[in-house]
Amino acid sequence: MIATDVIVKGDASGFAQEIVVGPHRLTADEPIEVGGKETGPSPYDLLLAALGSCTSMTVALYARTKKWPLESVTVNLRHSKIHAADCRDCETKEGKIDRIERDIHLVGKLDPEQQKRLLEIADKCPVHRTLRSEIDIQTRAI
């Protein structure tokens, strides 16, 4: 994987942020109801976009490699906070946890086994693996 510097800058007057990723420019902000001006997606929206795009790319690459008749992939995602007690498969049992719901729509003449395998492959996308793993974020002032 090629490491890319991502630069995020904003002033202290609001939530809007300019994001620079190589030659690409994006804007992030918060919704109006929480004090933003909604000039761009929220940070959680960007996180979901990263997971969704990685999922779609990974599934499509696998299908191409196998020469399976996948025509398109659509990934719908939702983020919410839920009570840990409501998650029977989670280690955390107190407080709230993040839940991401991911629906994958596969278009093409795939048989049930191919569909099942592509859903398994979705869990192997690099962003999914990162989100499920231990993450070491090192912060310093410069």
Residue 137 confidence (pLDDT): 92
Residue 15 shares a structural domain with residue 25: yes
Give the DSSP letter string of 6-58.
EEEE--TTSS-EEEEETTEEEEE---GGGT---SS--HHHHHHHHHHHHHHHH
Domain encompassing residue 2: 1-41
Do 72 and 18 share a domain, yes or no? no
Task: Please state, in angstroms and as integers, the Cα–Cα distance from residue 95 to each residue in 14, 28, 82, 100, 139, following that order.
Answer: 29, 28, 8, 17, 26
What do you get for the CA distance between the two ends of the chain, in Å?
A: 26
As a whole number, the mean pLDDT across the chain is 93
Q: Are residues 10 and 79 in the same domain?
A: no
30 and 59, same domain (yes or no): no
CA separation for the pair 127, 58 (Å, rounded): 10
Tokens of 137: 């974020």
**In this structure, is residue 140 part of a structural domain?**
no
Q: Which of 41, 56, 73 is a domain's end point?
A: 41
Within a domain: 63: yes
Residues 35 and 57 in one domain: no
Q: What is the average per-residue pLDDT within 39-54?
A: 97
pLDDT for res 1 = 60
CATH classification of the domain holding 105? 3.30.300.20
Q: Is the Cβ–Cβ distance between 70 and 118 less than 8 Å?
A: yes
Judge if 82 and 128 occupy the same domain.
Answer: yes
Establish if 138 belongs to a structural domain: no
**In what helix (H) or strand (E) does residue 83 lie, and over which residues does it extend?**
strand 70-83
Does residue 139 lie in a domain region? no
Tens digit of each residue's pLDDT (9 = 90 or more) over 128-138: 999 999 999 99
**In terms of domains, do 92 and 105 share one?**
yes
Average pLDDT over residues 12-27: 94
Count the domains in the chain: 2
Question: Residue 12: helix, strand or coil by DSSP?
Answer: coil
Does the global pTM surpass 0.85?
Answer: yes
pLDDT score at 59: 98
59 and 119, same structural domain? Answer: yes
Interval 101-131: pLDDT, tens: 999 999 999 999 999 999 999 999 999 999 9
pLDDT of residue 3: 66
